[in-house]
Structure 1
Amino acid sequence: MTTLWLTRIQPHLHQRQARKDLSSAAPLHQRLMQLFPDHLGDQARRKAGVLFRTEDTGPTPVILLQSHLRPDLDELPTGYATAATKELTPLLEALRPGLAVRYRITANAVRKPGHTTRATTGAPAVIPLTGADADHWWQRQAEGRSGLHLTTAHSAPLDTARGERAQDKRRITHARTRFDGIAHIKDTELLRQRILDGIGRGKAYGCGLLTLAPASRHTP
């Protein structure tokens, strides 16, 4: 089984570089990639298995970083953050059909009209989804493609992630929605693969990281 690491980074908000990185997903992605070897080539994020998101539900922001390679936390600037890494492989090995889990993901929920629809209606290639449409998108992703059966699902719109494509400087935007709740595992192998690969678009912009934790048997 692929070794998987989860790193929890709590930036020190008095540090200017930390505040700058938290202001946008693009500089944060660049910062996190500096924790991995330089020789990974053009597909460095994919080869390192890097997925991340910023958690802002507590008193201070926390960055969750998942990767196939163990990050070198010494590459963070002095005084930048408090950080620690743990291995997630035991969690992957503990997954089994029927297990109840808490899940959370920040995702780029979108619809891609077909060529004919685009030609006849002028619809864009990618349409961001919000509200009930985003909820239906997550249900399809979770139950149809990720080996989960959703028991509860809550969603919250987040700020749009913005950046610039390196090769042509084209502006990029990714609408983001946070989904969390309780689910039961249906297909263990499919779920493990989706955890490793991430879900949906915008992975370099803080989208796609699915995290799980065992749910209490008393959870409603």
Structure 2
Amino acid sequence: MNDYPLLARIRLNPQHRAVHRDLRDATQMHRTVMRMVPDNLGDSPRLQAGLLYRLEETDTSSTLLVQAAHLDPALLPAGYGHAEIKDLAPMFSALRKGLAVRYRIVLNPAKRERLPLDQKSKRGRILPLSGAEADQWWLRRAADAGLNLHVLTPTNLAPVRPQGRQAPTMRHSLIRYDGTATVTDPYALAQAIHNGIGRGKPYGAGLLSLAPASTT
């Protein structure tokens, strides 16, 4: 895998009207971050751009992390925030089996409802998971992504619901996981970082961030 994505860290301007709008409306936030990627990407522009994002909020600030193959923060609304671009190539190059890492990810753990046999021709609803079920879901998905989790600390976030007349009606329940892990499959992990994990990617889920674990 030779084409490594970029990561933009955008410190949002709390006085900006578009920032206020986007923090209230996940659909608008998705539209805003998509402004940073090239036009004419076909029917699935987010997928083609490899765009993933995560909102990180504290009591005093909001920071938007955006990952994609190509990013131009100058296309954001004027005054929207201060952006710094990072090349993720060194992180991908450092991945190796046995590497100890710290991770952070926001996820939308979910499963499809099982229907009775007399309704097997229909598809069940997507049901959000919480508590121990959500933790087990992340453990399984992490293993598939080449990570052996040692610590997983969940933080429940405010759910998001797509806005607009044509938006799907499903609410996305979001959980942030922080912890430590060991890399078991560098190739699978690189794929997971590139593609994101789970559902809800247009609404701020799926972006996996890694950093070396402290050796002290």
Instruction: Give the whole-Å Cα distance in 2 for the aligned partners of 1:191 and 1:50.
Output: 17
CA contact (8 A) 2:115 2:124 kept: no
CA contact (8 A) 1:100 1:185 kept: yes
Which ranges of structure 2 fall in alignment gaps of 5 or more residues?
A: none
Q: TM-score, normalised by structure 2?
A: 0.93
Letter in 2 for 1:138: W
Instruction: Give the whole-Å Cα distance in 1 for the aligned partners of 2:11 and 2:130.
Output: 29
Q: String of CA shifts for 1:160-188, please: whole Å, max 9, x gaps.
A: 1110477x444231111111100000000
Residue 111 (structure 1) aligns with: 111
CA shift for structure 1 position 125: 1.7
Residue 213 (structure 1) aligns with: 211
Confirm or deny that 1:65 pairs with 2:63. no
Instruction: Give the whole-Å Cα distance in 2 for the aligned partners of 1:108 and 1:165.
Output: 21
Q: TM-score, normalised by structure 1?
A: 0.91
Q: String of CA shifts for 1:40-89, please: whole Å, max 9, x gaps.
A: 121110111000010114630100001112x1111112211011111001
Residue 127 (structure 2) aligns with: 127
SS in 1 for 2:160: strand
Q: String of CA shifts for 1:128-152, please: whole Å, max 9, x gaps.
A: 0011111111101111x11111111
Instruction: Give the whole-Å Cα distance in 2 for the aligned partners of 1:123 and 1:109.
Output: 18
Which ranges of structure 1 fall in alignment gaps of 5 or more residues?
A: none
Alignment length, in residue pairs?
214
Q: Percent identity?
A: 39
Residue 80 (structure 2) aligns with: 80
Confirm or deny that 1:6 pairs with 2:7. yes
CA shift for structure 1 position 119: 3.4
CA contact (8 A) 1:164 1:172 kept: no
SS in 1 for 2:209: strand
Residue 102 (structure 2) aligns with: 102
Residue 156 (structure 1) aligns with: 155
For the aligned residues, what is the CA RMSD?
Answer: 2.0
SS in 2 for 1:152: strand
Residue 49 (structure 1) aligns with: 50
CA contact (8 A) 2:115 2:123 kept: no
Letter in 2 for 1:89: A
Instruction: Give the whole-Å Cα distance in 1 for the aligned partners of 2:160 and 2:153.
Output: 20
Q: String of CA shifts for 1:83-119, please: whole Å, max 9, x gaps.
A: 1111001100101111110001000001113454693
SS in 2 for 1:160: coil
Instruction: Give the whole-Å Cα distance in 1 for the aligned partners of 2:210 and 2:5.
Output: 13
Residue 203 (structure 1) aligns with: 201
